[in-house]
Structure 1
Amino acid sequence: MQTAKHVQIVLKDSMRDVAGLHVQSDAKKFLHIDTGKVKTGKIYSIVHPMPDDILLAFARNSLCDCIIHDLYIDRLFTSERFPAYILISKLPGVTDDEGVSAQKAMCDFLNIPFDYGAHVIFTHEIYYFENPLNDERLKTIAEELLGNPLVNRFEYGKFSGQVTYIPEVHLESQPQVQTIDIFVSDEELQKISRERLLALDLHEMQAIQAYYQNQLVQAAREKHGISQLPTDCEIEVIAQTWSEHCKHKEFNATITYKDLDNGAQKTIHSLFKTYIRRSTEIIRERYEKAGHNWLLKIFSDNAGVVRVDDQRVFVWKVETHNSPSALDPYGGALTGIVGVNRDPMGTGVGGASLLFNTDVLCFGPPDYQGKLLPGQLHPRRIMTGVVKGIEDGGNKSGIPTVNGSVVFDERYRGKPLVFCGTGGVMPAYVDGKPSWEKRIDPGDRIIMAGGRVGKDGIHGATFSSQEIDEHSPRSAVQIGSPITQKNLADFMQVAVARGLIKSSTDNGAGGLSSSIGELATIPKGAFVQLANIPLKYAGLQPWEIFVSESQERMTLVVEPQKVETLFALAEDFEVELSDIGYFTDSGFLDVRYGEQKVAYLDLIFLHDGVPTKRMEAEWKKPKLSEPIIKESLDYNDVLLKLLGSLNICSRETIIRRYDHEVKGKSIVKPLMGQNGYAPQDAAVLRLDFDSYVGIAISNGILPRYGDIDPYQMAAGSFDEAVRGIIAVGGRLPDPQTDPDIFWSVNDNFCVPDSLYHPQNNPDGKLKLAKLVQMNEALFDMATFFNIPMTSGKDSMKNDFIKEGVKISVPPTILFSMVAKIPDVRKTITTDFKHEGDLIYQVGHTYDELGASEFYHLFGELGANVPRVRKEQALRIYRKMMEAIEQQLLSSAHDCSDGGLAVALAECAFGGNLGALVELPDFDLSLNALLFAESHSRFVVSVAPQNQPAFEKIMGDDAFLIGQVSGRQKLEIDHQNKTVLALDVQAMLDAWRSGLVF
């Protein structure tokens, strides 16, 4: 144990301790513990030798703000007023990003080089409590509110004024290569997979066994001087490469699909190839036939690539980080956001300039009162940790979080869904060659850039391919370092601009094993020296080094003559580089640790040897009926309850934590309007400061609709994302009329285990049938609207299993869309702008209350789910496009959750204006008129002088329903009777108070 000196900073008594107030409030609100006043502090344990006067100067100049902080050196704050405390430290090996930042500041202050391999500053959080809490209550606060036993160490009780703990890693093992005997029975093969957390089934283990039994393989291994049995590294590399996370085995399975209602049957050879890839190929063929091709790269790299213009391409990716976020919400979400940042950074040549983040989150209810299973975190705890992780991941990286969505459903209480997306821009050409292409030749060097390798993230790919149970490993949890990655991103942009990087990819699932293994398929081979890889601490085994997913790492392809220049540039950016091998044309992935031969794998077998899964799907329509809900309701009360409900209420308490202004390019922000409360349907950003060309970003997700009809759920999610972009002024792509308007879509499927098992998963066939229908809807919608998928992700095992109880997420699909905006000055927002403007409903309402938020208030599901009428939607969208192009609209807001009544309320309180509305008689119930969530609809406001031109364009697809009022009241009449009358402030208060955070 090293001897440390301690520096502590605490806020002066005259300063408001906001963090302490939050802890005090949350402990009382959520844990029913009265802490009294809470005082917070930060402790830095420094093991670097420094004279006392230098330490004091460093602390004053680099660690504290002397105006607001009291500073303590080698003595810590204690007070009889605070008889209880909690100290929270990192466990050994857990990333201490703040400690690393402090260490870099120390090196700058002392003018000494930063040593990447020596961690000498460790941070601790300390909380002092005014009330004398016992150990049980302090433990509850520590583990349920402040930290996570998976990544934190806790001390609590009465503070002695000393800190002795330093989270040093001590691993005694020596690096060695072991062999695994797989020439065994089927039962033993399954045992190997289970005990090593390989997440491989029997057929896959048998395929590995057959490979090593092949005489040609045995001869090649003998010639190479490696064992006939697979090494531990080889088994682990195959498992990571063949994981569901990497190989998408269920999306590439052969599926026998039966419709039990009509007897129809079909065989699907790969959902991905049949529906997702094929839909985009059809769309690309249409554009190429018309002489246009802005679809440059789909599904074959870390992110999709589309052409913006002759000088730029747009790159973006959305993926999930569900399993880690269930174990450690903060670390899981932070790693998710910085991880997806690396996808655009590692596409093609790499070095994309990152424009924005978007996040869609699915949680259990934060006020959940039910029993928690062992290892299951409370939904509120998951939500707060995830939000904080995204905040730190985005804000500290200097990337704006511009939009997203939050969905609540009890079925997400076991495993949340955390969708993270990042978009960026690259120059179209680097050194005269397309930037989106990866070029690698034998002899090119393999350079690892960024963070060091540790045990964190081992088995991440295989772990995310399994349900969460008592065997879920701590090593799968990672903590990202946004500051490290920001340096890496800045470095890569400059290195690419100078022609120093030939290609790049990120170290994500499977770590180096996947990044090098995938890059090696281009030149047909690679040689890797693991001994050259810098480690966070000694004692890792070779296989652990190769598959670890420790964060902030990229794999760069560099021509030998440029290595020295690249290393010199990296030093300027404080980025650590390591030359760890070179590419070959041997056909093999050849891995060494010093003189030890660690792995020798045929690349064809590694990437193409996984057996095709065979699965069964059976669909039977659920027997549902419409409930009878009277029409003599107190509609004022209903609307206020809807506005305050979890799936409709304001996300302001989350949004305000995210910086959506950094970089200065956001035009339409998450909340806008005169008072800054109006929710927007899509975000709009400028691409640069030299023109008004921009992009719109939207999301569509409607999981509850899938309880009635999974096809319409997926189709509706697609339509929701499309109409969000239309609402702000986007234009649909068209091969003939708008050849330069690109759209780029990420599809993300998150479903429960869909592999049938008579005991463990008896409804697997039905769940798989739902997945098939979701894919059919994707194909139909994409090809109809000419909107292509360019990238995406699937997450297949979203179940939480403990003590024989399984909590499965509802089958969920997210469509994340980006569209080019030719002129951001023509975009519009949702809030009413002017008293006297005319209010129209654009689009048609139907008797479709099934799965609506209105029915949910009454505990009902219903049967009539909203249906997408594609031809009608296209007609309406084209008319909206024309009206916006002619600048006839003052505002536009899509109708979605809560229907027309909620949309009107949001438009009103966003502009501090009221509305007088007369509902047309559409031969529908009043409940449907107010609250049906029929698709492809908008509420728009139009200046009176624009009425003739607007009505000429819209024809029978728009209905005059009222006028914007200055009375700050929403009044809705029906058949000459006032059915709803609410003050705008009352609606706003209900909407803003719904999500307690």
Structure 2
Amino acid sequence: MKHWRYEIFSRTGFADVTGRDVLHEIKELGIDTVKKVESSRVFLIDADFEDQFARRVAAELLVDPVCENYYIGRRPLPDTGGAKSLIEVHLKSGVTDPVAESVTMGITDMGCKPAMVRTARKYVFYGDLTDEQLRFIARRALANDCIEDVIYGLEAEPPSPHTPEYKLEHKTVPLLELDDEGLTRLSGDMDLFLDLREMKTIQSYFRDKGREPSDVELETLAQTWSEHCVHKTLKSAVTFSYDGKTVEYDNLLKETVFGATQELNKDWCISVFEDNAGVVEFDETDAVCFKVETHNHPSALDPYGGAATGIGGVIRDPMGTGLGAKPVANTDVFCFGMPDIAIDDVPAGVLHPKRIAKGVVSGVRDYGNRMGIPTVNGAVYFDPRYMANPLVFCGNLGLIPNDKCFKNQQPGDLVVVVGGRTGCDGIHGATFSSGQMTHEHENIFSHAVQIGNAIVEKKTLDTLLQARDKNLYTSITDCGAGGLSSAVGEMGEKLGVEVNLEKVPLKYSGLNYTEIWISEAQERMVIAVKPEKLDEIMEIFASEDVEATVIGRFTDTKRLTLKYEDTQVGELDMEFLHDGVPKYSRQASWNTPKLSEPDIAAAGDYTDTVKKIFSCYNVASKEWIIRQYDHEVQGGSVVKPLCGVATDGPSDAAVIRPKPGTQKGVALSVGLNPMYGDIDPYHMALSAIDEAVRNLVCVGGRSDRIALLDNFCWGNCRKPEIFGSLIRAAQACKDGAMAYSAPFISGKDSLNNEFKMADGTEVNIPATLLISAISLVDNIEKCVTMDFKKPGSLIYVLGLTKNELGGSHYYYINGELGANVPQVDLELAPKLAAAAADAISAKLVRSAHDCSEGGLAIAVAEMAFAGELGAEISLDGLAVSDDCDTAAKKLFSESNSRYVFEVEPDKSSEFEALMAGLPLANIGTVTDNSLVNITAGGKTAVSGDIMEFKQAWQKPLAW
């Protein structure tokens, strides 16, 4: 066997983009002695190649012949004089390498199957660097200790990829005689993240069985009972005390979020809170399903891999809903620490927020683009408290035939695992995601990071859709949190199932039966197949080189039975596995903070204030991110993420046409504002719902066909006051859903987002509720965008502007929080949304935009620079509350339920008649110049050029 080394580098005359970017990052780290960085991609291939074939592999497979060249062997360093340093970055042993897998497939297709392929990255630094500086650069800019090893210089060898063969060793865990302290210690030692009560429940179960548990049985219970999988906190009974009142909940989730859905009982809801995604009617033949997941802790350790597997995982949710949906659109929302923090201020064990942001965006970009699914909507939010606990929300919309919305597995059906192979990546992912982060997690939980391969998932998707349409399987689900343990365990919950773990295809040898069972390696689906249809479905998988293997059979025993090489290594009663987790009675409290409104001196001219708000990271353009996503693939994008004359204005929501040839569409939006939660999480949650609704309506969505999703990301909910803030938000979810007659159809929580630093300081993320929403669009030709379209048009504001600057960006740039958080009038708000939707449907509106971050001044300026037109505005006729009595309040209040419309003069009478009885004001006109002029009381309040506003908006995140 020959060992081939290839180095791929840029041809002379072509830019080394990677080297240039690394040099830029080094300078951002404060090191200015490096003058140049050269980068190369390295391939290490074990294969019996002849020299001629080896050169063919390089020329035809590994390089881009236009701009790259190759060297076989270790390329000598150029003899250019001056100091030079060299490092290589290799994946750790056992870490999945998707590029290597693709190269293996390519070489095999060329006629020679290699024994092994590995990849690495090589960097040469020109300039004076100390060893300490070189290691600092590697750690902070080039390598992730969780999954990569760094080789310094030319002498050291890369890490061995080989793992020892596994020989069966059936392990039991002494549990029956442990006292409370021993049970707690065992949970910690095994990283089970189970508390004492849960451990005692398990102990009692096995005492009744008269035996000690096996290791795989304990791990199965830990995955299935994890907060990530079973949502113990939201389903608990709660005694909630707030502001002197006490409320009792028997099941918090059922009585708030899900309670609203049950009470509304919409006949267009097909499947809600039952499957991997919520399903609602679309038309007479098809439904749409929607799911938003979080992938927070893994993204903190490995931003690229964590985010990539986050989007890959949520794509598999619709794929695993009913009998499988076709994914048609992605969404994403990110919460990061402040990107301008000094490197020395980043705690130990934490990556710099800017590095996390770049890695997360790259991961979502690469996976979504390679899957051929448009990423059409999202948001980004920055707060220092997200530094160690970034939040990564990924969503997917799928299209599913009405007759494929439910599963029907039966005893005797075969358990077939389809897609990617199982590795040691992602082990303990579910339990790890349920616990507190610490400065040591980058080392302790490196195995919890999953590595995705979009090409494998794409092929798996295509073949499964073929098999679905031929009715070749009876049930499907994805291997998400908990891996096979959750997927197979859930499918067999009402029946029973027997699995032969040695039959599971592995990426590499050495995995024991427990690792095989709980690994969260990616791109795997589990299906139930009747024996008589096995050959036909296997032919479909083989035709696209998708691996599929029978690993077991569904039974009628109501037990989960695990075997390895004919040895039974685990057996659990399904009832105990799924319903045995103890129900909790928790205490929670909330006391409204005693806050006051700041006294900020009035300014005569607020033009610079508008620019400062535009320059806030949470208001600024996210174009740097959006441009990296393919939002045109599949050809169904109607309203894009960016709009306007230069296609760089911020759309309120996206509209997708999931079925070619139809005029029907689906609008997708989000609502998020954690800053309000610092004042009152109840009003934060209502504001998020209201914002999501406004966004849908502004692009042409129906106000009477809105479905909501909740994603609760909270700090340590074992602390009563933090749990209390979550309950306030859950209460608002029910109130908002009922008011808008908009049911929740699915959701997810990610709790215990708390970081414990080396000095013991605990930092919780801000209370964060993401509301995602979808709505039907009856006719996509009636959709509108937010950019001004025509000089002479009238500008209207629908809704009431109040003295609600609490949590606003106006206060933020002045270093204040405030007290008057925006509230939602639950009686008026739905009427405003319905009227706005009716006006757009009647084609009375040329453009529409919601008032949100920054208030009215920001909304009008955005519409102006997006349309490259000006505006003349007077605040004097604005519909306001009595105490909204200053120019600053009118300009920057972030009151909810407000819409800005552009209406042609000849349609104004009809428009105003439609709005009769609602707070409405004609505040000005669209002009043909480049100025936004806003007056209050006859005096100029804002006067600025639209391109200056736009520049302030685009500059902060132009990375």
Asked if residue 320 in structure 1 is aligned to residue 289 in structure 2, the reply is: no
CA contact (8 A) 2:151 2:157 kept: no
Asked if residue 935 in structure 1 is aligned to residue 896 in structure 2, the reply is: yes
1:71 Cα deviation after fit: 2.0
- Secondary structure at the aligned position of 1:748 is classed as strand
Q: 1:330 aligns with which of 304, 307, 311?
A: 304
CA distance in 1, matches of 2:164, 2:346: 35
Q: 1:359 aligns with which of 305, 308, 332?
A: 332
Counterpart position of 1:769: 724
CA contact (8 A) 1:27 1:34 kept: no
User: Which region of structure 1 is more displaced relative to structure 2, 588-597 or 941-950?
Assistant: 941-950
1:540 Cα deviation after fit: 1.5
Counterpart position of 1:878: 834
Counterpart position of 1:267: 248
CA distance in 1, matches of 2:820, 2:292: 31
Counterpart position of 2:819: 863
Asked if residue 210 in structure 1 is aligned to residue 204 in structure 2, the reply is: yes
CA distance in 2, matches of 1:90, 1:420: 26
CA distance in 1, matches of 2:530, 2:767: 46
After superposition, what is the alpha-carbon deviation per residue over 1:900-957, rounded to whole angstroms, capped at 9, x for unaligned?
A: 1111111111011111111125452111110000001122111122121112212342
Matches within 5 A, 1:152-551: 152-157=148-153, 160=154, 164-165=157-158, 167-171=160-164, 173-183=166-176, 184-214=178-208, 217-218=209-210, 228-259=211-242, 261=243, 263-284=244-265, 287=266, 293-350=267-324, 352-369=325-342, 371-429=345-403, 435-469=404-438, 470=440, 472-522=444-494, 524-551=495-522
CA distance in 1, matches of 2:166, 2:30: 42
CA contact (8 A) 2:33 2:128 kept: no
TM-score (norm: length of structure 2): 0.96
CA distance in 2, matches of 1:994, 1:294: 43
Letter in 2 for 1:149: D
1:164 Cα deviation after fit: 4.5
CA contact (8 A) 1:304 1:791 kept: yes
Letter in 2 for 1:254: A
- Secondary structure at the aligned position of 1:770 is classed as helix
CA distance in 1, matches of 2:29, 2:159: 31
CA distance in 1, matches of 2:778, 2:77: 61
Counterpart position of 1:917: 873
Asked if residue 626 in structure 1 is aligned to residue 581 in structure 2, the reply is: no
CA distance in 2, matches of 1:634, 1:139: 51
User: Which region of structure 1 is more displaced relative to structure 2, 8-17 or 588-597?
Assistant: 8-17
Counterpart position of 2:575: 604
- Secondary structure at the aligned position of 1:607 is classed as helix
Asked if residue 901 in structure 1 is aligned to residue 897 in structure 2, the reply is: no
Asked if residue 660 in structure 1 is aligned to residue 631 in structure 2, the reply is: yes
- Secondary structure at the aligned position of 2:127 is classed as coil
CA distance in 2, matches of 1:119, 1:28: 41
Structure 1 residues 446 and 211: alpha-carbon distance in aligned structure 2, compared to 1, 3 A threshold: same
CA distance in 2, matches of 1:146, 1:345: 35
Letter in 2 for 1:823: N
Counterpart position of 1:761: none
- Secondary structure at the aligned position of 1:454 is classed as coil
CA distance in 2, matches of 1:894, 1:133: 52
Letter in 1 for 2:709: N
After superposition, what is the alpha-carbon deviation per residue over 1:475-524, rounded to whole angstroms, capped at 9, x for unaligned?
A: 111111111111111111111112212111001111111111111123x2
CA distance in 1, matches of 2:181, 2:393: 37
Counterpart position of 1:432: none
CA contact (8 A) 1:706 1:713 kept: yes
1:559 Cα deviation after fit: 0.5
Asked if residue 151 in structure 1 is aligned to residue 147 in structure 2, the reply is: yes
After superposition, what is the alpha-carbon deviation per residue over 1:744-774, rounded to whole angstroms, capped at 9, x for unaligned?
A: 322100111111xxxxxxxx21111111111
- Secondary structure at the aligned position of 2:514 is classed as helix
Structure 1 residues 996 and 808: alpha-carbon distance in aligned structure 2, compared to 1, 3 A threshold: farther
Percent pairwise identity: 41
CA contact (8 A) 2:94 2:163 kept: no
Counterpart position of 1:222: none
Asked if residue 700 in structure 1 is aligned to residue 662 in structure 2, the reply is: no
CA distance in 2, matches of 1:266, 1:965: 55
- Secondary structure at the aligned position of 1:267 is classed as strand
Structure 1 residues 840 and 133: alpha-carbon distance in aligned structure 2, compared to 1, 3 A threshold: same
1:163 Cα deviation after fit: 8.5
CA distance in 2, matches of 1:119, 1:337: 31
Asked if residue 23 in structure 1 is aligned to residue 6 in structure 2, the reply is: no
CA distance in 2, matches of 1:765, 1:528: 42
CA contact (8 A) 1:181 1:230 kept: yes
1:38 Cα deviation after fit: 2.5
1:75 Cα deviation after fit: 4.3
Counterpart position of 1:743: 706
CA contact (8 A) 2:264 2:741 kept: yes
RMSD (Å) for aligned C-alpha atoms: 1.6
Letter in 1 for 2:459: N
CA distance in 2, matches of 1:617, 1:582: 44
- Secondary structure at the aligned position of 2:846 is classed as strand
Asked if residue 726 in structure 1 is aligned to residue 697 in structure 2, the reply is: yes
CA distance in 2, matches of 1:490, 1:144: 39
Structure 1 runs (4+) greater than 6 angstroms displaced: none
Matches within 5 A, 1:794-809: 794-803=749-758, 804-809=760-765
CA distance in 1, matches of 2:927, 2:21: 40
CA distance in 2, matches of 1:858, 1:43: 51
CA distance in 2, matches of 1:497, 1:69: 44
CA distance in 2, matches of 1:39, 1:74: 17
CA distance in 2, matches of 1:5, 1:152: 21
CA distance in 2, matches of 1:80, 1:94: 35
CA contact (8 A) 1:100 1:119 kept: no
Counterpart position of 2:717: 754
- Secondary structure at the aligned position of 2:35 is classed as coil
After superposition, what is the alpha-carbon deviation per residue over 1:118-151, rounded to whole angstroms, capped at 9, x for unaligned?
A: 7622111222333243332222222212220111
Counterpart position of 1:580: 551
Letter in 2 for 1:385: G
1:668 Cα deviation after fit: 0.8
Q: 1:988 aligns with which of 935, 950, 954?
A: 950
TM-score (norm: length of structure 1): 0.93
- Secondary structure at the aligned position of 1:486 is classed as helix
- Secondary structure at the aligned position of 1:387 is classed as helix
CA distance in 2, matches of 1:147, 1:400: 29
Asked if residue 960 in structure 1 is aligned to residue 898 in structure 2, the reply is: no
CA contact (8 A) 1:87 1:125 kept: yes
Counterpart position of 1:591: 562
Counterpart position of 1:738: none
CA contact (8 A) 2:474 2:529 kept: yes
CA contact (8 A) 2:2 2:49 kept: no
CA contact (8 A) 2:414 2:550 kept: yes
- Secondary structure at the aligned position of 2:256 is classed as helix
- Secondary structure at the aligned position of 1:889 is classed as coil
Letter in 1 for 2:952: A
Letter in 1 for 2:535: E
Counterpart position of 1:787: 742
Q: 2:907 aligns with which of 924, 943, 946?
A: 946
CA contact (8 A) 1:846 1:924 kept: no
Aligned residues: 945
